[in-house]
A and B are shown apart, each in its own frame.
Chain A
Amino acid sequence: MTAAGAAGRRRPPHASFANVLSSEWTKIRTVPSTFWTLLAGALIIIGFSALWAWAFTASFDQLDRADRASISPTSPMQIAFYFGMVVFGVLGVLVISGEYGSGMIRASLTAMPRRAEYLAAKAVVVAGVVLVAGLVVSFASFFVSQPILMINHLDGSLGDRGVLRSVFGGGLFLALIAVMALGIGTIVRHTAGSIVTMFVILFVLGIVGGFLPGSWGRTLNQYLPSNAGSAILAPVRQSGSLAPWAGLGVFALYTAVVLLVAVVLFRSRDA
């Protein structure tokens, strides 16, 4: 008699936060999409970093003094991040939308019905995974572009002012993007819809912001999510951009708001 008898006497392990974390960690590493998404994101960011380092190098002779001065050792990375960061968002989206799409969410929530904790465990795991992957990608894209920039002495080292912070911050930024995407995925619940939303927030808004007229337009532009977040990638504060940590802080704030909305909706909606 294993069914009813044993349960009462010896107190069995329960659906603790640690156990749910372990479950989420198992989930994220046992679907192939995690690996492929991370690989795609890494290839895009590292590849574009190399490409833009080369572009800066090749066009160096045509640039005027001001343009040359504006190029930093992390400039290629900054551009590459702009194209590649949304891929890390896709991973955050898939972590939850994959469950909605397959019906797994109902199995998961019968195993762990305390939804805020459930989402928190997902956020911790996705943040951890993308932080590690993001740091690797960030450092790799920095190192891959330096030898190319060196040709025109545009390169730098991690010891230069603000460079280590930029490269390290790149990893943090990607982790925050993935967590924001998890929130978006929880709110939207469909993979395609969530990815489009992420794309608009990170990519389209940044472009639109560049066209905003006047000083209010420039101010607003700084606070747009992708512009605020990517301020961390510049070794020294650039004009028309927030200070590095302030920018990342603003992005973290957006992430927190999205996640908060996600938790409230997730708890109140039917699964």
Chain B
Amino acid sequence: MILARGLTKRYGHKTAVDRADFSVASGHVTGFLGPNGAGKSTTMRMILGLDRPTAGDVTVNGKHYRDLGAPLREVGALLEARAAQGGRTARNHLRCLARSNGIPDRRADEVLRLVGLEAVAGQQVRNFSLGMSQRLGIAGALLGDPPILMFDEPVNGLDPEGILWIRTLIRQLAAEGRTVFVSSHLMAEMALTADHLVVIGRGRILADTDMRDFIDTNATSHVLVRSPRLTDLVPLLSARGWRVDPEGRDAVRVHGTPPDAIGDLAADHGIRLHELAPVRPSLEEAFMRLTGDTVEYHAGTPGQPPIPPDVAAGGAA
């Protein structure tokens, strides 16, 4: 259980994390989602006692991280892919970490086998590829067999095989009853692995919810209707109290009703439909909407209208 209350970090005038309140419950995969620069890594560093909060605090199992007796046995963390000294071998790197927590040397070989690095255990870390470094970092996180694991952007820079491996590993760790807190800026990645979501944008927590709830609230579905007689159909739809948004020349998006009701209504009035399709926006889209106005470094997108701020609320009817 990780609990943050009013967690704030300022670097000079820059507020990286702004009064964040959230919790990471035991036994689940909690996704920590936010665009680049949102404050994910900063938050994780504060959880691990690496960065000192400007205000507020965060505890792990009710304790500040620095008060954990054997930190590696309680929390395993992967922050950056490359966090090992180049001249040391993979095995020795892990032994150095293990010993500080009284973990026997043989555990280094065990975790190397677990992440598939046993063949290069005796090689210097400097020659490792990004994927191998990432695996070594995960091996380090697993050293103490901890009930809580934290991974910061674990799939960054990995090839498809590596991504699949991490995804499977995270699910497996959760299946063993562990708590996993994993950050990403990729919504799709989270949709595949997380049960719970903490969404952050510009240092503020935008959502701390169940994945299901998040989808229901933020990814509301609508129905795409295409018809040659839109001018007759739209007043009928509006009269029922459904919200209708234009979509191109001959189509509309209808919110707040299932497609069959629209089909029936059109049939009753003898209006032909050329398309009647329920649309479930991707989670990616939901995420974009939620964080849209909090993204820090926008890529220029000329000519695109701003996303209305009330989208999330609109679907509730």
Instruction: Please report A residues at the B interface, Cβ cutoff 8 Å.
Output: 1-4, 6-7, 12-16, 19-20, 22-23, 26-27, 30-33, 98-99, 102-104, 106-114, 268, 270-271
Contact = CB atoms under 8 A, between A and B. Distances in A.
Nearest to A22: B99
B254 interface: no
A58 B99 CA distance: 54
B92 A110 contact: no
Given A19-B100, A23-B99, A31-B88, A103 B66 contact: no
Given A4-B178, A15-B102, A107-B79, 18 more contacts: A7-B74, A15-B71, A15-B72, A15-B101, A19-B100, A20-B100, A23-B100, A30-B92, A102-B84, A104-B83, A106-B80, A107-B84, A109-B48, A109-B50, A110-B77, A111-B101, A112-B100, A270-B51
Interface stretch (B139-147, B196-204, B214-222): B139-147
Contacts of B45: 106, 270-271
27 contacts: A3-B176, A4-B147, A12-B70, A13-B102, A15-B69, A15-B101, A15-B102, A19-B101, A23-B98, A26-B96, A26-B99, A30-B92, A32-B87, A99-B85, A102-B84, A104-B83, A104-B93, A110-B48, A110-B65, A110-B71, A110-B77, A111-B72, A112-B100, A112-B101, A113-B48, A113-B65, A113-B71
Contact of B70 (A15, A23, A103): A15
B72 to A, nearest CB: 5
Question: Which of B88, B96, B102, B146 counts the most A-chain CB atoms under 10 A from its CB?
Answer: B96
Contacts of A112: 71, 100-101
B185 interface: no
A114 B67 CA distance: 8
A27 B49 contact: no
B146 A3 contact: yes
A268 B52 contact: yes
A14 B88 contact: no
Contacts of A31: 85, 87-88
B87 A106 contact: no
A114 B80 CA distance: 21
B96 A27 contact: yes
Given A33-B87, A103-B83, A106-B80, A7 B71 contact: no
B272 to A, nearest CB: 61
A98 B96 contact: no
A102 to B, nearest CB: 5
B244 interface: no
Nearest to A18: B102
A111 to B, nearest CB: 5
B102 A107 contact: no
B38 to A, nearest CB: 18
Closest 6 A/B residue pairs (Cβ):
A13-B102, A23-B100, A14-B69, A30-B92, A103-B83, A14-B70
A3 B69 contact: no
A108 B50 CA distance: 10
Contact of B82 (A27, A102, A110): A102
Given A98-B85, A271-B51, A23 B177 contact: no
Nearest to A109: B50
Contacts of B98: 23
Contacts of B176: 1-3
Nearest to B46: A270
Contacts of B80: 103, 106
A124 to B, nearest CB: 14
A103 B177 contact: no
Nearest to B74: A7
A111 B50 contact: no
A26 to B, nearest CB: 5
A268 B50 CA distance: 10
Nearest to A107: B83
Contacts of B62: none
A20 B92 CA distance: 15
Contacts of B50: 106, 109-110, 270-271
Given A109-B49, A270-B50, A2 B96 contact: no
A102 B86 contact: yes
B86 A106 contact: no
Interface in B35-76: 45, 48-52, 65-66, 68-75
Given A106-B50, A110-B48, A23 B96 contact: yes
A80 to B, nearest CB: 28
Given A1-B177, A33-B87, A113 B49 contact: yes
Given A33-B87, A107-B97, A13 B51 contact: no
B156 interface: no
Given A3-B176, A102-B83, A113 B68 contact: yes
A30 B88 CA distance: 6
A111 B93 CA distance: 12
